[in-house]
Amino acid sequence: MKLLSWNVNGIRAVHKKNAILPLLNKEKPDIFCIQEIKAEQSQIPDELKNIEGYFLFVESAKNKKGYSGVALYTREKPENIRNDFESKKFGDEGRIQIAKYKNFYLYNIYFPNGKQSAERLKYKLNFYEEFLKDVNKIKKQGGKIIICGDVNTAHKEIDLARPKENEDVSGFLPEEREFLDKFLECGYIDTFRMFNSEGGNYTWWDLKSGARARNVGWRIDYFYISENLKSKLKKAFILKDVMGSDHCPIGIIIDI
């Protein structure tokens, strides 16, 4: 099974750049998770609503048009999808899709950005904790879990081009990175690092400074799996040459 994940920074904008359909036609993923769609289902272009072979599920922000939002293209219809954690505190911004399949659970998450204010950083850290409670409950029940999305934090110094200059910037703060340490210690695996331990592999670049051409980037988009899927993982990759957003797609191939 092949899964892709991409923060498109606006599904309508990236479609105008003719980026989504060619990616699907080339990669032919079984599941394609999208973050930051910035649209309601009614605003998605018809050619993206009706892609042969895929079911489409959309979750948009409740009270803020053109903000956040996630979408799921999937060949197999999930048994059910929920759009909030068990605490029911984080569903309004359209950041969460938790799909239950026959053999696994899939989390498609657009994690908050903490740069705007101290309040938003607190919201981000609270979101992290509620996310961890949610996945841990399923893991304790023996569930097999795949998690993907824009985590909005670079975990290690190797995961961004200029770590020293960004030590005081949200996205690389100690408390954000400590959460990712804790998360992995709970029994989850950063899939890309199973296959690649080198620097220079990024998934987001600042558009305004032309950082992509110089590869001055951050690896803030991830696929994680629960440890009970480790033996099933065959490949993890970054599609750095796919344009259309300030992020690039990422993916995994897994036997499940």
Which residues are the active-site residues? 150
Residue partners of 196: CB distance under 8 A and separation at least 6: 236
Torsion angle in degrees (nearest 10) through CA of 97, 137, 75, 82? -30
User: Both tokens of residue 244?
Assistant: 């259309």
Q: How far apart are CA 206 and CA 196, in angstroms?
A: 23
**CB–CB of 250/239 below 8 Å?**
yes
How many C-beta atoms surround the C-beta of residue 28 within 10 A? 12
